[in-house]
Structures are given as C-alpha cells and as structure tokens.
Structure 1
Amino acid sequence: MGKINLKDKVVVIAGGGKNLGGLISREIAGRGADVMIHYNSESSRAESDKTAAAVRALGRKAELFQGDLTDVNNMKALFKMAKEKFGRIDVAINTVGMVLKKPFVDTTEAEFDTMSDINSKAAYFFIQEAGKNLEDNGKIISIVTSLLGAYTGFYSTYAGAKAPVEHYTRAASKEFGSRGISVTAVAPGPMDTPFFYGQETPDAVAYHKSASALGGLTHIEDIAPLVLFLATDGWWITGQTILINGGYTTK
C-alpha cells in the first residue's frame, strides 16, 4: 500500500517554475510524470515557460498556473485546474517561501503578516487542497527550512512562520493516513540560489558556508533526490520533518 511509481502520474508543484521547484519539475518529468507548474508573478513567467518546455521535451505534459497562493481562492483554482487538465493528482509539492532577515524589534506588522501568509497560511491551505484532491496513496511534501533546528536571531518571522508547517505535516499525516497518503516536510539548509543571497551580507554568506559539517551551502541538486525519494520509495516516511543540510543544524 502507498508506494507509487511516478510513471504516468500527475504532480502539482507550487513554485515549480524556477530554482528548486524548477529542478524538481524536470526531475519528476524525467521519471515519467506530468506536471502542473505554479508560479507566483509575471517576473517568474519566462523561467517557468522554460521549465514547462523542458518537461515537454521529456515527452510529458506540462501546464502553467500563475497566482498568489496566499489567496485561498487561487489555491483552490490551482488544484481545480490540475484536475481539469490531467484528470487526477497523485503528488503535491509546495516549494513556496519567502525569507526576511531582520532584527525582532525592527519588524513591522505588515512584514509579519506577509511572512505569515506566504510561509504558513499558504502551506496550510496547500496541504488542505491536496488532502481534498489527491488520489489515494498520494504524497504531500512541503519545503520548510533547517533554521527550525537553529538557535539564532534575525530570522524570527521566516523560521517562525515555517515552524507551524511541522505540525500541519503531523496533523495531516494522521488525518490522511487511512487513505495511504504520506505527508512530509523537507528542511534544506541555506541554499545556493538567489532566494538566499538577497538577504545576506558577504560576511554572513561566508559564515553559512563554513557552518555545515560537510562544508559549503546546500544546493538544489542535494534536495531534489530526497523529494523524489519521498514521492516514491520513501512513502512509509510520514509526519516527519527531515533536515537536509550537510550538518548545518540538527534537532
């Protein structure tokens, strides 16, 4: 029960157009799946188009959906479109997130609300819609952060807003388990992508590179294999948050 081969399956990937999401989209297609690729804004359209083209070049179907997933109506529309276009959904992967590095006393209410909406609210309703729409024996995977295992300042709204996803994962795994659906969270270390560098000074980048036991930043190529494993052979893992960071933090 539970284990699936990705051949001819359908995967919804929030934030699936670029960076880690784009790589997962291509890797998933390489395993024989069709992909519903979400991207947030017009600025991501060109890269998302390239990702969709890469999926199609592998002989699989790709559809694109643009929308702000902090609006629950857009979340519902994403899953509805996937069902309409493909007829089913087998795996749902949420890579959406936003980083803010700022002192606790300087954080504004607007910044708190934005970080909470993107990192927590969207994650909750992604899991909810996946629970409503996935086939039995499906997989739900959320990308969080290894900062959940860190003792540090300045990321209060980022790590703080990702933290609830650990419990959403546990709760959903209990509620959806009778249908064979496994629910997991993957927590990368600081990743070598534009998502990371916009927040950090050169000194901070040097620190993050030195902090991992294995040396250097996490790369998207380090994360995608775990996501694919959880979507296939790793189906028996459920309710867990897995830190994958080269020894940057532990829990």
Structure 2
Amino acid sequence: MTSTEQRVAIVTGGSRGIGRETAERLAADGFAVVINYAGNKAEADAAVEAIQKAGGQAVAAQADVADETAVSAVFDLAEQTYGGVDVAVHAAGIMTLAPLVDLDLDDFDRMSRTNIRGTFVVDQQAARRLRPGGAIINFSTTVVGLKLPTYTAYAATKGAVEALTTILAKELGTRDITVNAVAPGPTATALFLDGKDDELIARMAAQNPRGRLGTPADIAEVVAFLAGPGRWVNGQVIRVNGGIA
C-alpha cells in the first residue's frame, strides 16, 4: 500500500500496442499503473512484469470496458491497492474496416459498444472517482480528419469520442480535472498493421512528411504530457500524426 501522494493511473487496453507503451511510460514517470485488459491475461502479466523489472509499480485487472460493473471494479482495485486514481487513459478500442455498403452491422455494433459505450463507461467512472488535479485521456483517430475510405464506421465511433471528450472537459473544469483526446495517425501497432500488405504500409508511411509510420512511443509521449505537466491543455483533440494531412 502506498501513500496518497503516489500518483496513480489506470490504462485500459494497457497490455499491448499504444496502451502498453503508455503504461510503461507512465510507470517510468513515477505513476503506479493499473493495466486493464480485455482477455489476454498472459500479455497483461508480461506488461506488469516489464514495469516491475524496470522498478515501477503495476497490477493487472481484467474488464470489458463497456461493462460498468467490471470497470467499477478496476477503479476499486486501484483505490484499494494504491489509495486513489489520478489519471484514466482509455486506450482500448477495436477496428473493423470495410466500405459502408459492405460492413456487417454486427461489426458496427461491436465497435460502437467498445469504442463509444466503453469510452462513456470509463469516463463516467473516472469523472466520479478521479482526485483533483487529475486527467482523463481518451483515444480518437486522425482518420476522423483524413476521411479515408473503408474507415466509415470506425471514424464515426471516434467522432463520438471527440464530442464526449470536449463536453466532459467543460463539465469537470471546476474540479481541476482535464479531459483531452489524442488522435494518432498511422502507427505501427498490431491493430493498424493487421490485414495490410507491405506495399500499402510503405505507401502510407510515405504520405507522412516524416517519411515513416508513428510508433507507440510517439503517442505515449503526448499522453504522458497530458497526464503530467500539461495542465493548461483541456478539452482538446490532439492529432498525434507527424504532420500527415
């Protein structure tokens, strides 16, 4: 059990990709971290072990982010283990790509449940429980602005996340809790790379002024800023994409 001076972060989707990189970065910055995962306990345990080996503090907690009872239990665990919660990073999300005319509505419903309802549930618990001086950091996508074909449904769910983020920032302003969203561009994660051939990946990397895909560390750096010193950034959607447009 640590003192209430310990800064504590919950990171949903924290067992892999950007979520894991963010969890490790926050731990390196001195946060105790609760890593939420959907189903792969082995990956979550590996993330916890990596943080602990580096001298940080972390525990894992399984929960479907769209299940309010399960998410409440994750916050309970954080409070019982570390004394409270200061930062909620909601990095969990799913993506299915297809032209609108072809998209299976079951896939749309699954994305909506995880990406929209999941954000609402996590943010609702965070709004109820975060200590003053805290931060909520949601995840959108640069595709909301790029408007790429086949991303219709995914971008629609993330547009909802952006609306929720900017309004919640106003609702929580008097409590000294900031609410922002990061919107990564093409980033070398399993979620992005799945189903794309080498030619397409190279073409997308070449579209960026920096000539490469983003990395999870590029995104985690911005999340760490919003979770720490970036107290005057509030109600914003930050396109973390290297300049792609």
Give me the TM-score of the superposition, normalised by structure 1.
0.92
Describe the SS at the equivalent of 2:224: helix
Aligned to 2:239: 243
User: What do residues 172-227 of structure 1 show as CA deviations (whole Å, max 9, x unaligned)?
Assistant: 11011101000000011111111111132444323211211211111111111111
* Map 1:1-251 → 2, pairs under 5 A: 8-41=6-39, 44-249=40-245
Q: Structure 1 residue 68: deviation in Å?
A: 1.5
Q: Structure 1 residue 115: deviation in Å?
A: 0.8
User: What do residues 53-101 of structure 1 show as CA deviations (whole Å, max 9, x unaligned)?
Assistant: 1222233321111122122222222112212222200111011111111
Q: Structure 1 residue 48: deviation in Å?
A: 1.5
Q: Give the alignment's Cα RMSD to 1 decimal.
A: 1.4
Alignment gaps of 5+ in structure 2:
none
Q: Structure 1 residue 138: deviation in Å?
A: 0.3
Q: 1: CA distance between counterparts of 2:54 and 2:202?
A: 38
User: What do residues 106-144 of structure 1 show as CA deviations (whole Å, max 9, x unaligned)?
Assistant: 112211100111111101111111000100110110121
Which amino acid counterpart does residue 114 of structure 1 have in structure 2? Answer: R
Q: 1: CA distance between counterparts of 2:121 and 2:67?
A: 9
Which amino acid counterpart does residue 226 of structure 1 have in structure 2? Answer: V
State whether residues 142 and 186 of structure 1, in contact with CA within 8 Å, keep that contact through their aligned partners in structure 2. Answer: yes
Q: 1: CA distance between counterparts of 2:120 and 2:160?
A: 9
State whether residues 100 and 199 of structure 1, in contact with CA within 8 Å, keep that contact through their aligned partners in structure 2. Answer: no
Which amino acid counterpart does residue 18 of structure 1 have in structure 2? Answer: R
Aligned pairs, how many?
241
Q: 1: CA distance between counterparts of 2:164 and 2:71?
A: 17
Give me the TM-score of the superposition, normalised by structure 2.
0.94
Q: 2: CA distance between counterparts of 1:214 and 1:75?
A: 38
After TM superposition, where is structure 1 displaced by more than 3 Å over at least 4 residues in a row? none
Which amino acid counterpart does residue 141 of structure 1 have in structure 2? Answer: I
Q: 2: CA distance between counterparts of 1:237 and 1:63?
A: 29
Q: 2: CA distance between counterparts of 1:58 and 1:89?
A: 22
Which amino acid counterpart does residue 135 of structure 2 have in structure 1? Answer: K
Aligned to 1:4: none
State whether residues 101 and 199 of structure 1, in contact with CA within 8 Å, keep that contact through their aligned partners in structure 2. Answer: no
